[in-house]
Structure 1
Amino acid sequence: MAVAWIGNRETLVERAAAHAAALLGSSRCPVFSLDTDIHGTRAAIALAERVGAAYDHAADGAALSRETAVFTDKGAMTVAPGETRRRADVVVIVGELPQIHHEFVGELAETVPDLSAKNQREIFLVGSKGASAPPLNNGRTATLLSCGEASLGATLAALRAQCRGRRTSQPVSNFDDFAKALEAAHFPVFLFSGDATEGLALEMLQGLIADLNRKSRASGLHLPANENGWGSALASTWMTGFPLRTGFARGFPELDPWRYDVARMIAVGEADLHLRISSS
């Protein structure tokens, strides 16, 4: 049985819905936080269009915004998880990956790709000194590619420079092993997420992948920071032409990752009504 409240008093769902509708109708700057499935997202966007609201993901808006920017601003070369599991003979984990993807990474360590000459995958981790990869099955460990305490973006920049034969102020650790693996590789794949990775690092990664494709081939596997959130981003794109952090303030959809950052809007007092839409 559905239960609803107005303030701290229980009421009928119909009455609560009418009260919420009245608040939305009188709001000058409503904002929506989404944490729902495709159907919930579609309904929320349709409502946002009617009341002129902006919408974002409830928990992982920043990470999802970085991920969508890779595709909308820079462009990316990507493959599917199944193709990675089947073909990738060199796997490079870029930064930290969300917990929900650790099982998949573990599977990669114990399966054998079609294109491997050594009958196993080479696995590397790009990160700062002391970084650790998700647990790998069969007791394997990933070879760390690091520039000490340098940021992930700086490490990727150094890695890209060394791959092009250029000098760097600080060399990447274990680069010779990485270069040998790439030389023998048939299908290297870089695993990335926007969860703990800054936007410039994701852009530098795509540059590295593009460089490698000049002479051989390589690709990336996007592992979303939030799977429901990425579904909402895709639903928003096919409905409005834009991913999350879109608003209808002027009566038509506009994408602005800074302006329609709902957490920021609430923090600085721009929003006068906050609606959270959750499937749980």
Structure 2
Amino acid sequence: MSESEILIQPHGRLANQMFQMMIALQIQKRAGKGRILGYDMPEWKLVSPPVQKRPRRAVVLRNHIFDLDNAAFMLKSGLMDTIIVNGWGMRMPYFGSPVPYRNLFQTSQSGDAVADDELLIHIRGEDILSGWHHHYFPMPFSFYEEVINLTGLRPVFMGQIGADNYSVALRRRFPEARYLPLRTIIADFTTIRSAANVVLSVSSFSWLAAWLSQKAVNIHLPVAGLFDPMNRETSLLPAGDSRYTFYKLSMPDPEARKRLNFMEWAETHPFEGILEADNIRQLFVSLMGGRQIRSTNVSNRSPS
């Protein structure tokens, strides 16, 4: 009988592949078996043995929404020889605590030092500045301004900051801030992971670095795009984690982006506010198709 396998088909940049590895580990844990193959992350010293091509009974997991228990059952019962992780599964309920993954993604590389009285702000730019991806969009400057004012911390910007119009306008808007140069991908990941106060861009890279952090005390997360569970694909709000403050932020929809003056939007879009615990609770209740019951007197008796 052939050995059961969990085969990763690497898609996307490093953080996306890290999610794929975490999904594979969850399937392996639930099934109690399955050799994980196909991963290719030399940055973390994680490189799979060669994958042998041979006929297999396989099922493919795509995009973000999976039935992990059923996938594990098919592997454990022998209904399938292989579970192929083609998608990313960026959904908090799949993973639980970050603790099991911290030792997996370790490095000896150091990042830039960020003091405890500084606010590290990650910028996602490059390809998303065109607005082509419906889950990604740069942040309006008012969001950064408000978090800086609320915290009273000194801003430090890092990430994809270049010579593009957004980066030039960012430097003009925040002339007194400190700007870190781009380093290796692991060094930048470590910079975020080692900071006490972090503002996330809408990116899986900054999300994972902050979530895995043991140093972070305050993580400021815009509920938009990839981070907005109302997209009904991803679910990346760590509700109940006291490190996080959630902010309302409305991204232009894909159709509106075709007519949008992007730089005018970035410079003038107003701050929309903090999402309190009840806002987050109602958001999750809405996703379940339920309604929130505010009374504490909830009976479990059947109607007579």
Give the TM-score taking structure 1 as reference length: 0.32
Tell me: higher relative CO, structure 1 or 2? Use CA pairs within 8 A at least 6 residues apart.
1
Q: Which has the higher helix share?
A: 1
Give the TM-score taking structure 2 as reference length: 0.31
Please tell me whether Structure 1 or Structure 2 has the larger radius of gyration of its CA atoms. 1
